[in-house]
Amino acid sequence: MSDWLTPGLAHLWLPYTQMQTAAPPLPVVASAGVRLRLADGRELIDGISSWWTACHGYSHPHIRAAIEAQLATLPHVMFAGLVHAPAARLAQRLAALLPGDLERVFFTESGSVAVEVALKMAIQYWRNKGQPEKQRIVYFRHAYHGDTFATMALCDPEEGMHTLFAGTMPDQIMAELPTDENLRRAFDLLLETQGGRLAAVIIEPLVQGAGGMQMHDAATLACVAAACARHGVLLIADEIMTGFGRTGRMFACEEAEVTPDIVCLSKALTGGTLPLAATVARRHVFEAFLSDDPAAALMHGPTYMANPLACAAANASLDLFASEPRLTQVAAIEAQLREQLAPCRDIPGVAAVRVKGAIGAVELGGPVDLGALRRRCIELGVWLRPFGNLLYLMPPFVIESGDLATLTAAVRQVLDERARQH
């Protein structure tokens, strides 16, 4: 281990980490199923699927074989003026899976960029239709849509992680989720009075992820969609975290029978193997870019756009959703999380317990020593990464009930110990 860890750490800059005071990261040497193997031989059950990506577990043989076969023929080629079978096949399959006429797929490499592209599409859509004044975006309290500058402007300015950059980002409009009748009227009034300058509303359907695993029902999502349609505002669904089964449906929008104008996908798209994202638009959005004027085209093109290896992995991931009982597994995970996290409500210092699909979140009150929680979880043989005032589980869908019970028991134990210390 010392031949790479210590020399390498002297040159690494880690994410979301104060490098002067943070504990050293854990050296991982292998992964399989739901387990991470460390350099010292210990194994940890991964309760968060590597930031919510490894839905099929690690090193699934079908995905690995697809990547190996693609590597032998076409690892990469530029996507400007050229096209290849893995991307064409994947775009066709995504269009068939998504609701309605979401049928035009623009590939990128990360969720943040997928959202950036969606914003570009929305704003240029209105420009191409002769309404350039429609360029503002509405987002919601507790939202998180990425770490790039345009996406930071759509994150909760008070509770998010980007307060340092306040005043340097585009000024967008934050609204409250319309979860009751008064908030519905307020949201409708916002779109009625501001609609002339609004390009789009963006929402994380059913679950707001990095903003605190806040959850809302299908009726709220349907209300947002109906208001957008009523007032001529595009709806962008950020399904980067919720997409591909995490909430119990293949896509969270399905629960509300909503077809957004634009949807953003990433994370579990390749089953947690390679970077890939997609921004998918409805037919009417795409058609607004068709013109004899070159300036009406969408001017965006990542260097590694539609990387064949990543597209091959994503196609293999979709094969597994078609051939293995992923949504049934999610339903079983949800039932077990509801049962085994429920006792946390009686632990002093716990403010709330929320479960949706394969997502279980325990919200804590008072100050939270995140480092201590993480270290204790590791001692108990599980990999969790609490943030803010939240300890949460988002395991791979293939996790067995015994391993999931180990995760939930660890959550209860660390919270019991925290309560006794306070």
**Burial (CB count <10 Å: 0-12, 13-18, 19+), residue 263:** buried
Contacts 24+ apart (CB under 8 A), 73-80: 74/308, 75/308, 75/309, 76/304, 76/307, 76/308, 76/309, 77/308, 78/303, 79/107, 79/301, 79/305, 79/306, 80/301
CA distances from 95 to 120, 313, 349 (A): 20, 17, 45
Strands of the sheet containing 382-383, edge to edge, are 28-32, 35-38, 43-46, 382-383
Beta bridge partners of 175: 140
Other Cβ atoms closer than 10 A to 75: 12
Query: Which residue of the set 58, 139, 156, 238 is catalytic?
Result: 238
DSSP state of 23: P
Look up residue 226 and give its two tokens: 């109906």
Query: Which residue of the set 16, 292, 293, 346 is catalytic?
Result: 16
Instruction: Give me the sign of the Cα torsion angle 402, 407, 408, 414.
Output: positive
The residue count of the chain comes to 422
Q: What angle do CA 351, 353, 357 make, to 5 degrees?
A: 155
Q: How many angstroms separate the CA atoms of 227 and 212, rounded?
A: 25
Beta bridge partners of 390: 363, 387
Q: What angle do CA 259, 177, 256 make, to 5 degrees?
A: 30
Instruction: Identify the CA nearest to 394 among candidates 379, 378, 412, 382.
Output: 382
Three-state secondary-structure class, residue 413: helix
Query: Which residue of the set 267, 356, 392, 403 is catalytic?
Result: 267
If you search the block for the tokens 């996406």, which residue do you land on?
151
Residue 137 gets the label, from left (phi > 0), alpha (psi -120 to 50) or beta, of: beta
Q: How many angstroms separate the CA atoms of 246 and 238, rounded?
A: 13
Q: Is there a catalytic annotation at residue 261?
A: no
Q: How many angstroms separate the CA atoms of 225 and 201, rounded?
A: 9
Q: Is there a catalytic annotation at residue 267?
A: yes
Q: Is there a catalytic annotation at residue 16?
A: yes
Instruction: Give me the sign of the Cα torsion angle 227, 229, 231, 236.
Output: positive
Three-state secondary-structure class, residue 110: coil
Query: Which residue of the set 46, 144, 261, 356 is catalytic?
Result: 144
Q: Is there a catalytic annotation at residue 144?
A: yes
Catalytic residues: 16, 144, 238, 267
